[in-house]
Structure 1
Amino acid sequence: MPEQSPFELAEGDPFGPHNLPYGVFSTIDAPDQHRIGVRYGAHVLDLSALPSALPAAIHPHAELLTAPTLNPLLAAGRPVWQQIRAAVHTAVTDPAHRDEVAPLLHPLEEVTLHLPFEVADYVDFYSSEYHATNVGRIFRPNDAGLPPNWKHLPIGYHGRSGTVVATGTPVVRPNGQRKAPADEAPTFGPSARLDIEAEVGFVVGTPSTLHEPVGLSSFRDHVFGVCLVNDWSARDVQAWEYVPLGPFLGKSFATSVSAWITPLDALDEARTPPPARDVPPLPYLDDSGVEPGGFDIRMEVRINDEVVSRPPFASMYWTAAQQLAHMTVNGASLRTGDLFASGTVSGPDPDQLGCLLELTQGKGPYLQDGDEVTLTAWAPGPGGARIELGEVTGRILPAPAVGTP
């Protein structure tokens, strides 16, 4: 039986020509040479070699595609993103180019995937009304679930970009201070309440100018694409430290992202209006007259291969465009490689909660050493096709021993 051509995909393959996410890979024979690639089915198309194979279509952008990270491509701006995406689409779908393109396709099992871009700044939001209400009731059972500012602005915090890691990177259980309500004083040691947060991240390409806010209508001009994010959280460390300034060491030890960045243009069919809002937003957040800002992304959370939740991203109260507008409204500038994440995605049903804190009502159990967590997601594409986002996986390793100084 002849070997199946890498160009012939199974019907409904979620990584077909309607998707074409970008990543960075290396091969066995050149492990230190990081190259930009696009996933097509079960293969990676080596974009660094594509200008030589199809010079007329993509040669003007050859320098962008030979970089070891996506950052130069991210900085090039939306017209270039669209030109390259169109050229890649032609490369994998036009039979006239198959002889030139076939040698550039590497089987996924023969490559190593890497963090696809250098992360500049990292911001994490808190934009699911269901998640925020559930967490508020767990932490403050005698108060209203939502803080008074929640429906007026997308709440967020600045995280640690240096500990954003690619899927597959082990997550070492963090040490830190913990203090239970009944304890007289804090203790120090491994987190006993290690948790996940299933989120969607947005990768900034085109930077902005200091002191010039980015409006809602400029979202597509600055955001290159989308990836899944697991914002690992040490709940016991977080509970003790977060008053009054918010998350710090309980979050900064690791944030896992997908190895594949799905271009924003691939998700046009997944655009959806956000939920109805009962508090009118201020003008800079009022999205009633712009492109629908929500995305119909259906997520799945598995722990040790058991499905524990299916959070619906379409239920998010604040959209990514509103998050970007709020993030820059004070004049803060964007940098190429900025990553901002949605916050935990949770829905109204018990099987739609995006973290163990909610799934167990704060009682646990939380993650044990050796547990492996995997996030996957898909969105509707053109003609009934599925767009699959790259998965995010991480296995928990024991905390390191800490001696006394």
Structure 2
Amino acid sequence: MAVTPQDLFGLDNLPYGVFSTPGSPGGPDTPGAPGDPTRRRIGVRYGDHVLDAGAAARALGSPHTPLLQAPSLGPLLAAGRPVWQSVRAALRDWLGNPAHRETVSPLLLPLHPAAESPAPVFHLPFEVADYVDFYASEHHAANVGRMFRPDGEPLTPNWKHLPIGYHGRAGTVVVSGTPVVRPSGQRRPPGADAPDFGPSRRLDIEAEVGFVVGAPSTPGEPVPRSAFRDHVFGVALLNDWSARDIQAWEYVPLGPFLGKSFATSLSPWITPLEALEHAAVAPPPRSHPLLPYLDDTGPGAEPQGYDLRLSVHLNGELISEPPFSSMYWTAAQQLAHLTANGASLRTGDLFASGTVSGPEPGERGSLLELTWSGTEPLRLPAGAGGERTFLADGDEVTLSAWAPGPGGSRIGLGEVTGRIEPTRGAPPAAAPDGGGA
């Protein structure tokens, strides 16, 4: 099959996922030989097709066959950077070298359904070990501060000195397309003296970028910024759904809990860091001196920011285009801080950037900011739901992104989508904050 240089998923990209065929999606423990098409297996996206990577490796006699025949990316993640580079080079050869076309072409499955070839089913590509979410956008943090501390400084005193984050719930990280059930919890209505309990009325999105850890680290030994690429395998778009009313009541003094733990949606495609080499940029200028383990301002410092251009669609309508290049704290700094106390990394750890927001109103990565805490509703076409402050049942949110590639090309990041379903076992959420039904 031919893939043009303009394709977002060409040879310079090649993101990894895990898929099965419809009818018998299977699972990691599904019996059957590695070639059984009903078994979960590793796929590599190439244009609008997915390559059965394990079958290709076996057919071409690759030494990486055991890794690529696994039902999860876990073994490949754990193998470390030299193996990641070797596997990527092999995949580029298999897909780009005409000598392999006869062998590889039958192993490319179309992503979109057709009568003769149903679309593959995609799964969470690795077992999430730990999940950490950061708060790395100065624009997002300042917007939140202006909303909730209008008479004080927008940023807390520690914000410019360390990447603020919290530990989330790994077990509720779900693959794109998984329904998001509206959470219930304690909420204190405005002006009330006591809380009540019920479905969230202020359900929100957070457009984020997630980083997937491959190689583990030794307990007690911090991971320096310089070792970021030795431990982080790749990136994926992530939506950290947030129940703002539940969060507002519970998060003092210990931080987010039930307002964040009900669902975090992750793209099925993990883009290797090596595919983003042409997207590396310097982060914004530092306004405060940083401690040595975080300091990235010295001579010859490697640019560790990324120029990723995100888009947020609500019910098919573009509502925001957040620029990841504006993030104050880089992923390398986040990893260094995460491990600064000796906390170890495990294969499958996932850490996210926090909401990506830029300086302009159309670059805000949450409805909290886009509607200024519900005081400035979004006005969507009637077919997309009409006016919105926060999410209503039935709303669908899709995040997409691209990054600069070699020679003016673009590297696509796989989309992440989620649709809101009503609270289970309770009436639908009331409409005043969420918008129409």
> Structure 1, residues 297-341: CA drift from partner, whole Å, max 9, x if none?
000000001111000000000000000000000000000000000
Tell me which residue corresponds to 1:16. Answer: 10
Aligned pair partner of 1:89 in 82, 87, 92: 92
Shift of 1:118: 0.5
Matches within 5 A, 1:171-250: 171-250=180-259
What's the TM-score, normalizing by structure 1? 0.96
Tell me which residue corresponds to 1:278. Answer: 287
| 1: CA distance, partners of 2:396 / 2:139 | 25
| 1: CA distance, partners of 2:22 / 2:313 | 30
Aligned pair partner of 2:59 in 53, 64, 67: 53
Shift of 1:141: 1.5
User: Secondary structure of 1:300's match?
Assistant: strand
Tell me which residue corresponds to 2:142. Answer: 133
Q: Which moved more, 1:46-55 or 1:146-155?
A: 46-55
Taking every aligned residue pair, what percent have the same amino acid on both sides?
69
Tell me which residue corresponds to 1:389. Answer: 413
> Structure 1, residues 212-244: CA drift from partner, whole Å, max 9, x if none?
000010000000000000000000000000000
| 2: CA distance, partners of 1:202 / 1:298 | 16
Shift of 1:62: 1.4
Amino acid paired to 1:12 = Q
Shift of 1:51: 2.1
| 1: CA distance, partners of 2:158 / 2:398 | 33
Amino acid paired to 1:100 = T
Aligned: 1:328 with 2:334: no
User: Secondary structure of 1:369's match?
Assistant: coil
| 1: CA distance, partners of 2:148 / 2:214 | 37
Amino acid paired to 2:76 = L
Q: Which moved more, 1:362-371 or 1:68-77?
A: 362-371
| 2: CA distance, partners of 1:169 / 1:139 | 32
Where in structure 2 are there 5+ consecutive unaligned residues? 27-38, 113-118, 378-388, 428-437
Shift of 1:65: 1.0
Structure 2 vs 1, CA of residues 130 and 174 (structure 1 numbering), >3 Å: closer, same or farther? same
Structure 2 vs 1, CA of residues 89 and 312 (structure 1 numbering), >3 Å: closer, same or farther? same
Aligned: 1:302 with 2:325: no
| 2: CA distance, partners of 1:393 / 1:375 | 6
Tell me which residue corresponds to 1:41. Answer: 47
Aligned pair partner of 2:104 in 101, 106, 113: 101
> Structure 1, residues 155-191: CA drift from partner, whole Å, max 9, x if none?
0000000000000001000000000340121010000
Shift of 1:277: 0.8
Amino acid paired to 2:53 = L
> Structure 1, residues 341-391: CA drift from partner, whole Å, max 9, x if none?
000000000100000000111025100000000000000000000000000
User: Secondary structure of 1:31's match?
Assistant: coil
In the alignment, is the contact (CA less than 8 A) between 2:49 and 2:108 conserved in 1? yes
Tell me which residue corresponds to 1:369. Answer: 393
User: Secondary structure of 2:397's match?
Assistant: strand
| 2: CA distance, partners of 1:21 / 1:390 | 8
Aligned: 1:353 with 2:364: yes
User: Secondary structure of 1:284's match?
Assistant: coil
| 2: CA distance, partners of 1:73 / 1:394 | 27
| 2: CA distance, partners of 1:36 / 1:373 | 26
What's the TM-score, normalizing by structure 2? 0.89
Shift of 1:398: 0.4
> Structure 1, residues 191-230: CA drift from partner, whole Å, max 9, x if none?
0000000000000000000000000100000000000000
User: Secondary structure of 2:293's match?
Assistant: helix
Measured on the aligned residues, the alpha-carbon RMSD in Å equals 1.1
Tell me which residue corresponds to 1:316. Answer: 327
Where in structure 1 are there 5+ consecutive unaligned residues? 1-5
| 2: CA distance, partners of 1:39 / 1:162 | 26
Aligned: 1:399 with 2:423: yes
Tell me which residue corresponds to 1:72. Answer: 75
Aligned pair partner of 1:28 in 6, 22, 28: 22
Tell me which residue corresponds to 1:3. Answer: none
Amino acid paired to 1:89 = R
